[in-house]
Structure 1
Amino acid sequence: MTHDYRSVFRDGLFDGQVVIVTGGGSGIGRCTAHELSALGATVALVGRNLAKLETVQAELGVQGGRCSIHSCDIREEERVQQTVRDVLAQHGRIDGLVNNAGGQYPSPLSHISAKGWDAVVRNNLTGGFLFARECFNQWMTEHGGAIVNVIADMWHGMPGMGHSGAARAGMLNFTETAALEWAPVRVNAVAPGWIASSGMDQYPPEMAPLIRSMPKMVPLRRLGTESEVSAAIVFLLSPAAAFVSGACLRIDGAAPNAKRVWPEVGRGGSTEAFNGFHLAASPRVLEG
């Protein structure tokens, strides 16, 4: 088996293991699926858009990876329960869950309807809870495993996306509670900041100037890469994190640490970006 993904982790790290990746059809989920596959895992991709999942499945197949795809709306309890049963029927085990699926839309708090609030909270909180609960109840409670919840930079509030910020904060609290109640299953979170991912192209055109200005607001003076998020997820799933649970790893270039009382955002330099994903593409919005 040959893979073009340039992971910092050793070959065969996840040989014989099965990992579910929700939201696996694009962005961070797609990248994480490629890295896990390159490290030997069998990946079960979950998402609402079957065509996107089929595309990633084909990409992994070219690299010799083992992958199944499962169409599921994570907000629907019965569908989540059946999807986890399907993964177990097909693969016989679930060693890891990457709770990556989610989404939101920009809006000031005063304009968010009850329906819009509920949709985002179900997408970014309820769905992740349901998937984690089912993986725990159907397999991990007896066999162990690791769960990584992908949240977001929601520290000090999330202006313009308050529904998502509230949901992501709830997911962090769920992570901390589950780490206690479900031990020795390990439950952790990663909180990506501004990542150059395909999701940036989903926002309305009027947000383009703000998106392109983001590097100047980050002390490390750049956006993150999908590979940098994937590497953090892989670490938390790996044996190296065997004593790490209930934690949240920020991948944000220290953006939440920027303060008005300290006007300099970094000193103008940056770290070299890590990009091990051979199929990564820059979001179109950054080309303007």
Structure 2
Amino acid sequence: MPYRSVFRAGLFAGQTIVVTGGGSGIGRCTAHELAALGATVIVTGRKADKLDAVVAEIREDGGTAASHAFDIRDEEAVKTTVKQILAEHGRIHGLVNNAGGQFPMPLAMISKKGWEAVVANNLTGGFLVAREVYTQCMKKHGGAIVNMIADMWGGMPGMGHSGAARAGMLNFTETAAIEWGVSGVRVNAVAPGYVASSGMDHYDPNFAREVIPRLAGLAPLKRMAEEAEVSSAIVWLLSEGAAFVTGTCIKIDGGSSLGAKAFPLLDHQNSTPYQGFHRAVKPKALG
């Protein structure tokens, strides 16, 4: 069973697209969809074994993929890896700045080390990768970048370090869209709400047991997003169909950011999920 993308076959034929954090979750799903649409996908992350597994899946499905293991927070490693990718593939047409991570913790309990680690994961690292892809390739050839943020509007209690970093990434997206537009580079962002992704299985067991089961009820659509629903937005932003879209952010949150706190959200099952990813795995945290 192939990836059931809503986009036309061969949409990214002849293009090389880098997906950071491609070893699991939304990154893995997006890598699969891009490969199914003809792209040569370069998945990156810190753990080579996870990346190798995704590359093997993509090749088994008939796609083209390779991997590079490095830490996006390491400036020299970022510079070197981008140079290697260009040496091997000639050009980078698209970048999905997906890598990141956080842990639940109230602000008063976050240490300086913990704060800086999350900001480095979700803001500084993404900046470094985007800057090197731009300066080493896209400044001359153009391209498209999609940055990953989150539903951080109105605050992100319990994850204030991540909320601050994601808000910073949105402003970086807008600034880069202005500065890099002269080079034919489009820079956009996606902001998922609660996604039924493997990332949920990395949280503390108490958080997973007490909080995660309630998240589906917070959106007017009364469910969580599928990984494929985030991937399809990313794919569109990378595509020629979004050729005049830059500096914007697509919210993929089922309406949870609309601030409907004073309006009763009735339970229902009238929102049908798009389940395009044929290798999707339900998070253990959702039972």
State TM-score, norm by structure 2: 0.97
Cα distance between partner residues in 2 of 1:211 and 1:73: 28
Per-residue deviation, 1:258: 3.9
* Counterpart position of 2:167: 169
* Counterpart position of 1:273: 273
- Matched-pair identity in %: 61
Cα distance between partner residues in 1 of 2:206 and 2:258: 26
Give the direction of change, closer, same or farther, for the CA distance of 1:266–1:10 in structure 2 (3 Å limit): farther
| Amino acid of the structure 2 residue aligned with 1:260 | K
| Amino acid of the structure 1 residue aligned with 2:270 | S
* Counterpart position of 1:13: 11
Per-residue deviation, 1:269: 4.0
- How big is each residue's C-alpha offset from its partner over 1:229-274, in whole Å with a ceiling of 9 and x where there is no partner? 0000000000010000000000000011243322x12563432000
Query: What's the secondary structure of 1:7's corresponding residue?
Result: coil
* Counterpart position of 2:198: 198
Task: Tell whether the 8 Å contact from 1:222 to 1:270 is kept in structure 2 after alignment.
Answer: no
Query: What's the secondary structure of 1:12's corresponding residue?
Result: coil
Cα distance between partner residues in 1 of 2:10 and 2:271: 29
* Counterpart position of 2:283: 283
Ranges in structure 2 where 5+ consecutive residues have no aligned partner: none
- How big is each residue's C-alpha offset from its partner over 1:187-241, in whole Å with a ceiling of 9 and x where there is no partner? 0000010000000111111112210111111100100000000000000000010
- How big is each residue's C-alpha offset from its partner over 1:14-38, in whole Å with a ceiling of 9 and x where there is no partner? 0000000000000000000000000
Cα distance between partner residues in 2 of 1:224 and 1:137: 34
Task: Tell whether the 8 Å contact from 1:5 to 1:278 is kept in structure 2 after alignment.
Answer: yes
Task: Tell whether the 8 Å contact from 1:220 to 1:266 is kept in structure 2 after alignment.
Answer: no
Give the direction of change, closer, same or farther, for the CA distance of 1:273–1:141 in structure 2 (3 Å limit): same
Cα distance between partner residues in 1 of 2:35 and 2:256: 31
Alignment of 1:41-190 (within 5 A): 41-183=39-181, 184-190=184-190
| Amino acid of the structure 2 residue aligned with 1:96 | G
Cα distance between partner residues in 1 of 2:261 and 2:84: 51
Query: What's the secondary structure of 2:158's corresponding residue?
Result: coil
Confirm whether residue 251 of structure 1 aligns to residue 252 of structure 2: yes
Task: Tell whether the 8 Å contact from 1:218 to 1:266 is kept in structure 2 after alignment.
Answer: no
Cα distance between partner residues in 2 of 1:89 and 1:106: 40
Cα distance between partner residues in 1 of 2:210 and 2:42: 37
State TM-score, norm by structure 1: 0.97
Cα distance between partner residues in 2 of 1:266 and 1:179: 39
- How big is each residue's C-alpha offset from its partner over 1:100-137, in whole Å with a ceiling of 9 and x where there is no partner? 00000110000111111000000000000000000000
How much is the aligned-residue C-alpha RMSD, in angstroms?
A: 1.0
| Amino acid of the structure 2 residue aligned with 1:230 | S
Task: Tell whether the 8 Å contact from 1:188 to 1:248 is kept in structure 2 after alignment.
Answer: yes
Q: Number of residue pairs matched?
A: 284
Cα distance between partner residues in 1 of 2:69 and 2:216: 35
Query: What's the secondary structure of 1:182's corresponding residue?
Result: helix
Out of 22, 25, 29, the residue aligned to residue 24 of structure 1 is 22
| Amino acid of the structure 1 residue aligned with 2:257 | P
Cα distance between partner residues in 2 of 1:246 and 1:266: 34
- How big is each residue's C-alpha offset from its partner over 1:139-188, in whole Å with a ceiling of 9 and x where there is no partner? 00000000000111100000000000000000000000000000020000
Query: What's the secondary structure of 1:135's corresponding residue?
Result: helix
